[in-house]
């Protein structure tokens, strides 16, 4: 139970698209994550997704921004731990064709039945049918897009 007597919110799994924007220093995304943390919203950051964001934006500032995620009270970094998780990751990769970092996001979301926070819902909808259970997706709307 939370301090206000309500239940603990379902964790959000941050995907590579969100982490890349954090690594780029996107203030809108960073503010959203800070607001979620301040509101007590649990978030999970797959370690392999951090790897992908670091590959995409490879500089010291990006490393500092991504490393700063560990400082948030309501963010948990999810490592790939043990043979069982490695095999589960391989199974998701084989079924979906996703890259390891995206498969790590999908594997956590599938196992924990938690929504994926993303900027690209279409990608996740495409691969959702390849898994035992459908993936739940929360897409961050781009305020610059019309419609």
Q: How confident is the model at residue 22 (pLDDT cuts 50, 70, 90)?
A: very high
Provide the token pair at 147: 């419609």
pLDDT at 131: 85
| Position with higher pLDDT, 57 vs 16 | 16
Q: What is the percentage of the chain residues whose pLDDT exceeds 70? A: 93
Q: Give the rounded percent of residues in the chain with a pLDDT score beyond 90.
A: 80
The pLDDT assigned to 134 comes to 87
Both tokens assigned to 23: 């690594």
Residue 4: band (very low, low, confident or very high) from pLDDT cuts 50, 70, 90: low
b/e for 98-136, b at 16 or more Cβ within 10 A? bebbbbbbbbbbbeeebbbbbbbbebbeebbeebeeebb
Which structure tokens are listed for 101? 């970092």
CATH number of 12-139: 3.40.50.1010
Predicted model pTM: 0.90
């Amino acid at each position: 139970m939370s301090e206000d007597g309500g239940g603990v919110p379902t964790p959000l799994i941050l995907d590579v698209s969100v982490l890349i924007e954090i690594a780029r220093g996107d203030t809108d995304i960073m503010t959203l994550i800070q607001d979620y943390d301040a509101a007590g919203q649990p978030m999970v950051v797959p370690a392999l997704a951090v790897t992908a964001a670091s590959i995409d934006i490879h500089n010291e500032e990006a490393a500092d921004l991504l490393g700063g995620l560990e400082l948030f009270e309501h963010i948990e970094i999810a490592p790939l731990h043990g043979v069982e998780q490695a095999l589960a990751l391989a199974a998701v990769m084989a079924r979906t064709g996703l890259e390891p970092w995206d498969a790590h996001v999908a594997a956590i979301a599938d196992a924990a039945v938690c929504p994926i926070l993303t900027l690209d819902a279409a990608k996740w909808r495409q691969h959702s049918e390849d898994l035992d259970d459908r993936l739940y997706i929360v897409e961050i709307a781009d305020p610059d897009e019309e419609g």
